[in-house]
Each structure stands twice: as C-alpha cells, then as structure tokens.
Amino acid sequence: MGTALEAKKLTKDFGGALAVDALDLGVDAGEVVGFLGPNGAGKSTTLRMLLGLLRPTSGEAVILGHPAGSSYARERTAYVSGDVSLWPQLTGRETISFLGSLHGSLDAAYRDQLIEMFELDANKRIRAYSKGNRQKVALVAAFATRAEVLLLDEPTSGLDPLMERVFRDCIVEAQQRGQAVLLSSHMISEVEHLCGRVAMIRAGKLVSVADVEELRAHVGTEFEITGDVGDLRSVKGVTSISPLPDGVRVQVVGSPDALLQTLAKSHVTSLHTREASLEEIFLSFYDESTSP
Amino acid sequence: MRAPASVHTLVWRQIRVPTVVMTALVVLVLRVGISSFSLSGGERGMIALRPVIENPAVSALYGRVTSLTSAGAFVEWKMGMFIALAIAMWAALMATRVTRGSEDDGTWDLLVVSRVGRQPALARAMFVLLEAGLVVGAATFFTLLSGGQRAPDSVLYGLAMTGIAWSGVALGLLGSQFFAPRRSASQVALCSIGLLFIVRVLADGSSGNVWLRWLTPFGWLENVGAFHHLVTVWFVPLLVLPAGTAIAAWRFQRSRDVGAAWWTRADRSRPRESLLRTPWRFAWRERWGMLGAWTLGLGVLGLVVGYLTNALVQLCRTDPGYVRLLKRWGFGSMVTGRGFIAEACVLFAVAISFMVAALLVSIGTDSFQGRLDLPLSYGTSRTKWLASGVVTTVVATVAISMFCALATWVGVVVSGTTMGLRAPLEGMANALTMAPWLIGVSVLLIALTPRFSFLVIAMLLTVFYLDAVLGPVMRWPEWLLDGSPFYHLHLVPIAPSNWGATLSLSLIGVVAGVLGLRVFTRRDVGH
C-alpha cells in the first residue's frame, strides 16, 4: 500500500523555541503508527502541522500526495485531539452532523452504530457532557467520516476502560478498511496493542521509528537466573546485571547464545525470560535522552 | 502569602488591564469636558445654553438640569450619563469575567477545593470588584479636583460614580448566578443596564415620567446631583442596593452546584440540522442568540429615540429664539424632526459598529479557544470560514439597521410627528457607510490578535467617536479629526452622504480586509 501521510524534514520554530526539528515520518495506508514522547516533546505540534493548522518553519507535510492543509488533504483527513473544544450550544448529534457536512461524507449507518457502541446520549447539548462524552462525540465524528487518514492526538483521554476497548475495535476496523492512523498517546499499552510501528520523539527530534519487535531488540531480553552462575559481566550481549536473593537478573541485547552457553557450564536451578514491555522501551529511550 | 490574599491578587490580575483602560477613559473624557467648559465661555457662556438644556429631547439624552454654573455641573450634564453607562457596562463585564468566566474555564474549581473555600473566594472576588469601582470613583474625584472643582462636590460625584460601578458589579454577579456560560450572563447583565438606561431616558423625556428615575441607578445618580442640587439621600439606593444585590448573589451561589446556573435551558434537544450543512449556514446558527439580542436592543432604542422627536419639534415651532440658540450652539440640525433623526442615526452608527465587532470577533474567539481545529481539519478552508462570518455579519447588519430605522419611524409616528419612512432609512443607510472600513479593520485585527481583537476594536471605536464628538469642541487640529471615521458621517437625510469619505474609508477597509485574509490563511491556528 502507498504512503498515506509523510513528514519530510518537518520543522517548527516558535520564535526561538524549536518544537519540532527536521522530523521525517511516514504512515502507509492500512497502517497504525504509534507516536510516543514525553510531555512537550513535539507530538501535538507535529500532528497540527500534518493537519495544516500550524505552518512548518521548514520541511513539508504531505497527505495522500497533497500538501497538508490543502482542500484535497482536508477532505480525506479526520482529527481527534485530547482536549476537544466544541460549541456548547449544539447537541452531540448536531456536532457530528456538522463535522460530517464539512468533511463531505458521513456514513450515517456507521455513525448510528458508533453512537450505540460508545453509549453516547447524542441528543444532549455539548455543555452538559462530561469530558469523556465530549471525547466520544469527536471520536464518533472522526470514525463516521471513514476518512482515509486519521490523526489522533491522545484520543482516549477521559474515556473509561470499556470505551477504550471500543476505541481499539474501531481502530482495528479502520486499519482493515485501509485507513492510515497516526496515534499519539501516553497510554503505552494502547499503542503496544494497536500499532505495528512506533515513532518516538524527544525534544522535537525523532529518536526512533521501528516495529515494536525491533524496539524490544534494542532494549533486549531480561533473564532471571537462580543458582550459582558465577561472574557474567564479560559475557557477550550482557548489558546489565543486578543481584537477586538467590541469583541474578541479567539484561541481554541481541542474541542470548553466549549467555546460554555460559549458563550451560554453571549450576542453574531456574531460568525465566521476559521481553521488555513498550513502557520499558519508552523509558529506556527517555533515560538515554536525559542521562548526561 | 495567605490564601485569601492570593485570591485577592489573582482576581486583580484578571481585571487590572480593563480597569486601567476604563480609568484612563474616564479621566480623558472628564478633562476634555472641563476644558470645553472653559472654551465655551465658562459660567457666562452656559447661561445662553439654558433653553437647550430644558428641551425634553436634550434632557432625555443628557439628563435634567436647571443651570450649568460650574465645569463640574457641565461635565455632569454633558458627559455624566454616558460615562456612567460605560462604567456600569465595564463593571458588569468584569464581574461576569471573574465569577462565571472562572466557573466556565474550571479555574473556580481550584479555588473552591482549596482551603480558601467557595463562599470566601466569592467574597474576595466581590471585594476586589468593589475596590475596582472605588478606583474609578477616585479617578473621577481627582480629575475634577485637579480641574479646579470644589472638593466636597468632587468627592460626592466620585462616590456616585462608584455607586454606578457597584450597580454594574451587582448586575454582573447576579447574572453569573442565574445564567451560564459567561456570554449569556454578560448579555443579560448588559441588556439590564441598557434597559435601566432607557428607563432613565424615558423619565427625563417627559415631565410626567420623572418618578421613573426612582427605578434606575442612572436616575439615582441624577437625583444625587452632586454639582447641581445635591440630595444625599439618593446615595442610599445608589450604594446600599448594589451591596444588597451582591450579598444576594453571594447567597445564591451557596445553594447551587459549582459550574451550574439557576436558569438553564434543557440539556437535551431535538436535532435541528438545517443550519449545520455548510459553514455559511452555521455562521448564522452560531450567532443567532447575539443577533436576537441586538435586534431587540436596537429596536427598543429606535422606538425611544423616535418617540422623543415630537417634543423637540414642538418646542422649535413655538420658540424661534430657541431655534437660533440651537444653531448657535451647534445643535442647529436638531430644529426639525428630520434633523433630529439624522443626529440620532450618527449615534446609532456607534451602536451598530459595536454590533459588527461583536458579530465578527466570534471568528477570533473560535480560533484561540480551539474550536476552529475540527472544522479546519474536516474539510472547510480558512477562507470559507472567514468569508461565512463576514457575509453573515454584513447581511445581519443591513437587516438589523433597517429594522432599527423602521422602529425609529414607528416611534416618530406614534409621537405624533409626520415623517416618511424614507428619512430614517436614509439616515441608517448613511450610518452603514462606515461598515466596509470597520469590517476590513476588524478582519485584520482578528487575524493578527484573535484573543484581544474585540478589546482593540472597542478601544478604537471609543477613541474615534470621542475624537469626532469632542475634537471640534476642543478645536483639535483637522488632521486629528480626519482620522476618525465618525467625523466623516454627514447628517443624512438633511445633508447628502459624504461619498468621497465613504470611498476612501471603504478602500482602507478593502486593503485591511485583504491583508487580514492573507494573515488569517497563513497564521498558526490556536496561537
């Protein structure tokens, strides 16, 4: 499938404060890409440039081969932010209809289905909604347009766990329909569950774009070994060792072959392995960035 | 810092800039008034003005006085009512800002759950608002004192203006308890102030209605008469009733939910989607509450002004000396019904200018409050969004202006004066010649500074109006007068429209509008 959205050397400088620095990123049709980074890293700024809401200082944002913000791009994009601002006097249904009208297409049957799935009382005015319900209005509008590109910035902010599950089902369906999704989120479990690739941004710079498996390989595998295993510091691939009451915890990057060969010569009573979670991967990148 | 002191500082920070602007404006207008008294020949010059001030139509506009023996008396008569109106509106807006506005944006929650507590937090906010009223009152006192007026009279007039400010605060506080969001609370408070002002106009427009003054703070201000007849007992309602109303608002808050209002429309509604299908239609839907309020307000104003026409015309018919005097004092155009309507239409032009600004700035408000993000992400272009707001404003302004002309004509006819509908229609059409300039400049300001666009436009309009009204009296240089668009409004229908100035102003408007469109389509949204 072709590239649905692309950031080419995308840069945003807010009068001396470099929010995004020469960021390159692409999302293919039918792909869900997670976008992770600490607060203030430049995630929202990147998404807003991809929407044409912010003008890049340099570089280019392209949606389906057209400049971000062009009418072609806008008619094929839907957006949900984590802090949705809507017209308080409209009802939820009116808001969804209005946004659908602006977009030019709205799958009415799917909209009704989404309203039911998200358990949204769509005839209430926006001012009477809780934050979570306002978020549901924005999500229903975005999914019901069947837009080819979905740009989601903390979209589940305020949703309860049951609704998060509904959201995940919608993303899976969108992916199966060939829609491209860029999902910025602080909920790492959500990203881990939904995204094939993850982009990590720190201080405006993209530090990594890779499959979750590749990222795991970067952090490595954790071994918890009990028994008398001797000194493992010189073993190839071992990056860290910490003591346990009756053994050691060892972090290995790359192939564990050398470690296993060494352990074969020792007296091992138990051996447990655990792959790093995306949260640990994220923290490892963040630690790298903050360490002197 | 102790918690209550922190709240005190916080509230002052929210209102300090508008308070400084209001205070500066009051000082400027008072100083100009004092100077124009001297330039007009002082007390001796005022004797000749006596027949003018006794005219019911003039009384209705400026208030009833019997003599103008000092600069203070002149200022109180010529400018006092309009300064009071501006102060009351400013005070009401400040009150809704620190109370309902804080509840709308959630910052009030932080105060309520802190150790300050809900009732003490409101009490502190009220205290600051009362202090701000005192600041304006003190500025009034010092300006008059430095202008050579007697200290006791100046103190009392300053105190009376404080009472007006407190009345505005009280109405704002009450509006905040009963209505949400802030826009609704402010609209109700401002409409109430407008109504109270019109009651005062009606009271002074006919000798049989003087009792109506008892019903309005503007009437109490007039009854105090600090530089005229001084009846101190009227300080009781002027100072005590606002305090009582504020205490009532404080108690009302206790028995409602934080963030809620006593009066709310139903939270549920049948979908009405006919005005949601395009940005053009939505522009109407977004503004229809505001359009209704302006239509009602300008309609009532037109009726009242039209109704006053007969009183003036009758006096001019019976007293040729009075007509000569009116002409000598620059009120010459008001000797006929058509002339009075022409003068009134210039006044309507000010109100319509504020309406145009209010209708347009919702584009800027949507932008900085983040409501433009979704429409712009969902397919509509910035140009279309801006154009839909401008077109709606243009069509609504023309329609409401014509409605105001119709209401004025009805008032004229009801008062017993014979006049064709054409006269007020032409007058209002002339008032609209400023619109292209104002729309263009507003679009540019909305594009440049969406957050502060209304404040800047309102200040520009106020300064330009004062320039046009006070400049000739103060003999300001011609280039300064030329700078005001209001100065170029001819008295239609008794004079032809100033087409040359209209063309120049429209050109400026077009250039500013095009520049504004260019900035709006290129700027970062939400910043």
B489-517 pLDDT, tens digit each: 998 888 898 999 999 999 999 999 999 99
Chain A: nearest CA to B360, how far in angstroms?
16
- Per-residue confidence (pLDDT) for residue B3, from 0 to 100: 60
* pLDDT exceeds cutoff 90 at B104: no
* Run of H or E including A61: strand A58-63
By C-alpha distance, the chain A residue nearest B385 is A102
Mean local confidence (pLDDT), B155-165:
96
CATH architecture group of domain A3-211 = 3-Layer(aba) Sandwich (3.40)
In the sheet that holds A197-202, the strands lie side by side as: A77-80, A149-153, A180-184, A32-36, A197-202, A205-211
CA-wise closest residue to B294 among B387, B396, B201: B396
What is the reported pLDDT for B322? 66
Residue B376 lies in a domain: no
Say whether pLDDT at A291 is over 80: no
Domain-embedded: residue B378: no
Residue B488 lies in a domain: no
Own/partner pairs, A204-213, CB within 8 angstroms, 24+ separation: A204/A12, A204/A18, A204/A19, A204/A20, A204/A21, A204/A23, A204/A41, A204/A42, A204/A45, A205/A21, A205/A22, A205/A23, A206/A23, A206/A24, A206/A25, A207/A285, A207/A289, A208/A285, A209/A25, A209/A33, A212/A278, A212/A281
d(CA B325, CA B47): 11
Q: Is the dihedral of CA B43, B48, B53, B58 positive or negative?
A: negative
- Asked if the Cβ–Cβ distance from A123 to B268 is below 8 Å, we say yes
Confidence of residue A288 (pLDDT cuts 50, 70, 90): low
Q: Quick check: is B36 in a domain?
A: yes
What is the length of chain A?
A: 292
Over range B244-264, report the average pLDDT.
Answer: 87
Spans of all domains in chain A: 3-211, 221-275
* pLDDT at B472 > cutoff 90: no
Distances in Å between the Cα of B248 and the Cα atoms of B98, B170, B473 are 17, 9, 45
Instruction: State the average pLDDT over residues B418-436.
Output: 94
Q: Is the pLDDT of residue A290 over 60?
A: no
Q: What is the pLDDT of residue A1?
A: 61
Domains: count for chain B: 1
So what's the pLDDT on residue B321?
A: 65
Confidence of residue B455 (pLDDT cuts 50, 70, 90): confident
The pLDDT value given to residue B1:
55
Nearest to B370 among A54, A85, A89 (CB): A85
User: ipTM of the predicted structure?
Assistant: 0.78
Q: Is residue B113 part of a domain?
A: yes
A37-92 pLDDT tens trace? 888 899 999 999 999 999 999 999 999 999 998 989 988 999 999 888 898 889 99
Query: What is the tens place of the pLDDT at every residue in B372-415?
Result: 999 999 889 999 999 999 999 999 999 999 999 999 999 999 98
pLDDT tier, A273 (very low <50, low <70, confident <90, very high otherwise): confident
Q: How far is CA B472 from CA A133, B430, B466, in A?
A: 59, 21, 10
Q: Assess A91–B contact: CB distance below 8 Å, yes or no.
A: yes
Contact B167, B241 (CB under 8 A): yes
| A93: nearest CB among B265, B271, B282 | B271
This prediction has a pTM of 0.82
Domain coverage including residue B155: 1-254
Quick check: B331 pLDDT over 70? no
Which of A5, A53, A83 to substitute to test the interface with B, most B CBs within 10 Å?
A: A53
The pLDDT value recorded for residue A253 is 82
Average pLDDT value for residue range B226-255: 89
Distance from CA of B382 to the nearest CA of A (A): 10
CB pair distance less than 8 Å for B525 and A77: no
Mean pLDDT of B25-41: 87
Which is more confidently placed, B275 or B173?
B173
**Nearest chain B residue (CA) to A100:** B378
Exposure letters B145-165 (e unless 16+ CB within 10 A, then b): bebebeeebbbbbbbbbbbbb
Quickly state the pLDDT bin for A292 (edges 50, 70, 90).
very low
Question: If pLDDT is split at 50, 70 and 90, which confidence band does A113 have?
Answer: very high
Average pLDDT taken over every residue of chain B: 89
Asked if B181 and A88 touch (Cβ cutoff 8 Å), the reply is yes
